[in-house]
Structure 1
């Protein structure tokens, strides 16, 4: 089994579990994880090469120096004699940092685009110590990278607009592990009038608009509750907003929770809502993977016409779409689903079938490994 490097500066973030989930689904390639810092545990039985691991100034200095210099030497030293078949970097910002490492190793570089790396305004990258290389070396990445994978058709259009080559820039959905997700049945009696929101608490997720919409809904109905799973810098502000809207007692902020607990909440909720918005700086939802996980559970979903979210559902059949920042429309969509149990379960049944047909992780992993085969044996289109 050939080894590959999964490259992410900030490894194992709770909000980026999809990276390790994709890598751990591989059957013909063995992932080695590499990055600058870690935010969680390495998957069992795997190896992680992290510049910031250990104690003392030398480790910290090496991580900072590499971030500013883009030198491959610290990573090559950690890797030692290992000879991976390719590097798969997640986010374009990390692709430009992994490019010198791949060049020194003489292996192809695959880069996945997930969202902000294709939508954020370039001045924001220049202002970040971790990202300022990106606009400076993005052209080099486009010329020398072997393959670029985009998490939605929306993102692929944005990446092509940035000058990446069409023949090496492909749509590839990460996928959902449908085999591990049991679909809820209408006969189950544990469904409750819970509106579920699973997201990092940042502006792009639109949580403030959801709280305002829920306040409108709650003013007319005594039974619904809003459960928010996720952590982030806006938590305190959002908790204050719930209190100001008079629904503080009916909104539960649970923080980040294990994936198994999240799916348990999905099974007993009435719907999942992700009202993402485009931020002034240009952040946009790349796809909304949590919408797919909810649909695979048999849960109807509500989202906004923002970024790649429309690709995650069949409007009117598996979920409902509303305009960005439209509090009244969002409240109306949630009310419509709460009022119609039969519709909720019908949408959930169709949602499961939709995800199985287009986003099943086993199928997507098979395709990903075929792409790995192509770039490692040279059959995939290369730069002129």
Structure 2
């Protein structure tokens, strides 16, 4: 089998299971995870290489130098005699850094754009040392990259607006494992509103807390469970207390993926009230929407970015205007009021992901795309 280098600077983050979920579904190609640092363990039996493996002098100063220069030499030393047939970079920033390595190795480069890499303003990117090279060298990636995959149609529109070639830029949903995630039984449901996200502005959690406080008194037993961590956690806890719903909101922090899925089985709904941030960042799709749908759980979300590709309004859940806590509360109340509606939307959501987002079918398509790229290179 041909070896594919799956390139992500920060490997195995707990918030990014979709990268390994896709790579582990490869059947005609073998993944080799390649990056700077590991933030978790690789999948069982999977091979991974990180710059931190080069020795005790590498972790900070030399990695910082590599970040500045985009020099592919350290990755070549890391690979040794290994020669991947293709590099698949996740996020446009990684694509910019993987390009010199792909050119040095004379192998194709595939880049997947997920969201912030297609929406965050140039000023915000330049303000971050970790991201500053991206807007500076993005045009080179657009010119020389072999294939650009986008996590949603919305993301593709934004990538094309940045100047990437339409002929080499395609929508490719990563998808979810519809065999591993089975629909839950109706009696597993509890009056839980579930939010799974990093606690940053783009996820809109403050509007969800406000919506909980705005629910009619008949839903006083509804609870909000927030899985994820981030810089806004303390302010969200303070807000919940100020609105009188502190005892109805549970902040569980970041949890392993299996525990997230277990909480989904208990949820009456999943909520993703994302917003457009001051820096232009917008939700690319929201993989958690697809996982909830696979579980048979309806969702409420903002009508923004790629979310409408994951929620069919009025069929698999409801959409509401961004930053509108009252409208969000109304849609949450509609679901809480009607068990038959929740169950029907949950079943429709499951059918929707089976049709459009099954990871096995999506990964078969990905491997076909790999083959086309490799064949075009001879």
- Once residues 364 and 19 of structure 1 are traced to their aligned partners in structure 2, the CA distance between those partners, rounded to angstroms, is 13
2:335 match: secondary structure: helix
In 1: Cα distance, 2:199 partner to 2:287 partner: 16
Aligned-partner Cα distance in 2 for 1:211–1:66 = 42
1:122-158 CA distance string (max 9 Å, x none): 0111111111111111110001000000000000000
Query: 1:224-263 alignment to 2 at 5 Å?
Result: 224-263=222-261
**Alpha-carbon distance, 1:61 to partner:** 2.8
Whether 1:298 and 2:304 are equivalent positions in the alignment is: no
Indicate which of 209, 212, 220 corresponds to 2:210: 212
2:148 pairs with 1:175: no
Q: Post-superposition shift, 1:210?
A: 0.2
In the alignment, which of 350, 353, 356 is matched to residue 352 of structure 1?
Answer: 350
Matched with 2:86 is: 86
1:323-359 superposed Cα distances (whole Å, 9 cap, x missing partner): 0000100000000000000000000011100000000
Distance between the aligned counterparts of 1:54 and 1:220, measured in 2?
60
Tell me the CA shift for residue 184 of structure 1: 1.7
* C-alpha distance in 1 between matches for 2:121 and 2:344: 40
**Closer, same or farther: CA 320–58 of 1 in aligned 2, 3 Å:** closer
Q: How does 1:1-384 map to 2 (within 5 A)?
A: 1-53=1-53, 56-186=56-186, 189-217=187-215, 219-378=217-376
Gaps of 5+ in 1: none
CA-based RMSD: 1.3
Deviates more, 1:218-227 or 1:240-249: 218-227
Q: Is the 8 A contact 2:19 2:90 kept in 1?
A: yes
Q: Deviations over 1:236-255 (max 9, x none)?
A: 11111111111111100011
Does the 8 A contact of 1:51 with 1:60 survive in 2? no
Which segment drifts farther, 241-250 or 145-154?
241-250
Aligned length: 378
Runs of 4 or more consecutive aligned structure 1 residues displaced over 4 Å after TM superposition? none
In 2: Cα distance, 1:367 partner to 1:300 partner: 27
Change in Cα spacing, 1:41 to 1:54, as seen in structure 2 (3 Å) is farther
Q: SS in structure 2 opposite 1:14?
A: coil
The change in CA–CA distance for 1:268 and 1:246 in structure 2 (over 3 A counts) is: same
Contact persistence 1:51–1:62 (CA under 8 A): no
CA contact 2:14–2:257 (8 Å) conserved in 1: no
1:269 offset after TM fit, Å? 1.2
- Secondary structure at the aligned position of 2:99 is classed as helix
Q: How far apart are 1:55 and its partner, in Å?
A: 6.0
Deviation at 1:219, TM superposition (A): 4.7
CA distance in 1, matches of 2:218, 2:185: 29
State the TM-score, normalizing by the size of structure 1: 0.96
Shift of 1:220: 4.8
- Long gaps (5+) in structure 2: none
CA offsets per residue over residues 153-211 of structure 1, 9 Å max, x none? Answer: 0000000011100000000000010000111233xx23111111111111100000000
Is residue 226–residue 251 contact of structure 2 (8 Å, CA) maintained in 1? yes
- The SS at the match of 1:264 is helix
- Tell me the distance in 2 between the aligned counterparts of 1:95 and 1:260: 30
Cα distance, 1:58 vs. partner? 3.8
Native 8 Å contact 2:227 2:254 kept in 1: yes
Q: How big is the shift at 1:11?
A: 1.0
Q: Using the alignment, how far apart are the partners of 2:300 and 2:286 within structure 1? A: 11
SS in 1 for 2:179: helix
Contact 1:62 / 1:74 at 8 angstroms: preserved in 2? no
